[in-house]
Amino acid sequence: MEQKYLSKLHPTVDYGAGVFLLIIGILTILGNSAVLVTAVKRSSHLKSPELLIINLAVTDLGMAISMYPLAIASAWNHAWLGGDASCIYYALMGFLFGVSSMMTLCMMAVIRFLVTNSSTSNSNTINKNAVCILIAFIWLGSLLWAILPLLGWGYYGPEPFGISCTIAWSEFHNSANGFSFILSMFILCTLLPALTILSCYLGIAWKVRKAYQEIQNSDRIPNAAKLERRLTLMAVFVSVGFLGAWTPYTAVSFWSIFNSSKSLHPVITLLPCLFAKSSTVYNPFIYYVFSKTFRREIKQMKCCCGWRAHFFNTENSIENPMSMMWMGRENACVCPTAKANNGEASTQ
């Protein structure tokens, strides 16, 4: 076993990290599977931009299934399993799904911005074929970035704490190859998408605020304006959950670029990595909080499985977990089965 693949952590910390990843993995698989099941049941009513939410669930599931078992086994083994081959595989999968998630969130923000700022229906301009092509480009672009280190531009290597693998950040100063790859990756895959997301949601916030100012002298705020605000909050939470989870890891990675990784305690490098992996869990909980329909689907699935636990209630929820998020007041609609159930929901 090479020294670089040995754990730099106390065995208790290794076990704790493995347990944490196991819990995150189970929650990720259950939550995002529920999102996909709901999407399949509503397939005939899905709007085209909802495919991006499905794609986001696929990236989260892909990360949990392809990466977490190896990370858990390595943590409990106190050393990375599989050597260089599995290290490259793990880092490639993490880069692939990470870039896919980031680009999907970026496109979600752009489409949400276009829908919010359009005075007419977007259903004719944003069709399913266009979104499918967009998703295909997201995956092709992410795959290209992920395989570039295999083609000689950039490097993969173990994390400072020894039981995980990622981009070799330390190569930023060691070679022109590593410098150009990390700089290009940071600008094109992190900085520009993050600025696009921020700009879109600031534009949406300005639009919603302007709409509220126009109706502030009214006796009450129209339901359409309240809906716009909730849709914006839902979309913002999805993006903030991902960016917030990955920001500490980005900060530690940049520290490793400009300083020796040995200057940080191994636990300090481990915690942001674990926090970043938790990003795969958040979205189903956000949909659950904001959507009566998604909660109802979850409860139906629980009943089919014989479960009887009670979930919390949220009054300020929207009727459709995905399509009302995108389509705005002109296109807000509920599928026939949801309409049938809304009579019961309104009496609660």
Whether 102 contacts 146, CB under 8 Å: no
Tokens 């680009």 sit on residue: 103
pTM of the entire structure? 0.82
DSSP label of 221: -
Report the percent of the chain where pLDDT is more than 70: 78
286-317 as b/e, with b when 16 or more CB fall inside 10 Å? Answer: bbbbbbbbbbbbbeebeeeeeeeeeeeeeeeb
Q: What is the mean pLDDT of residues 119-131?
A: 66
Q: Which residues contact 246 (CB under 8 A, 6 or more apart)?
A: 98, 276, 279
Closest C-alpha among 31, 17, 75, 95 to residue 280? 31
Contact, 274 vs 307, CB < 8 A? no
In whole angstroms, give the CA distance from residue 191 to residue 36: 30
Query: How many Cβ atoms from other residues are within 10 Å of residue 284's Cβ?
Result: 23
* Three-class SS state of 239: helix
The model's pLDDT over 136-178, given as tens digits with 9 standing for 90+, comes to 999 999 999 999 999 999 999 999 898 999 998 877 777 888 8
Residues 203-213 have a mean pLDDT of 75
Condensed to tens digits (0 to 9), the pLDDT of residues 29-78 reads: 999 999 998 888 877 777 777 889 899 999 999 999 999 999 999 999 99
Q: Which pLDDT belongs to residue 84?
A: 93
> 241-268 burial, b for 16+ CB within 10 Å, e for fewer?
bbbebbebbeebbebbbeeebeebebee
List, in order, residues 6 or more apart from 27 with CB less than 8 Å away.
281
Please, which pLDDT band fits residue 213 given cuts at 50, 70 and 90? low
Q: Binning pLDDT at 50, 70 and 90, where does residue 335 land? A: very low
Residue 230, H or E segment: helix 223-258
Taking the C-alpha atoms of residue 296 and residue 292, their distance in angstroms, rounded to an integer, is: 6
Give the other-Cβ count within 10 Å of 69's Cβ. 13
- Alpha carbon distance 313, 135 (integer Å): 34
CB 197 within 8 A of CB 239: yes
Structure tokens at 274: 């674990």
Rounded distance between C-alpha atoms, residue 100 and residue 94, angstroms: 10
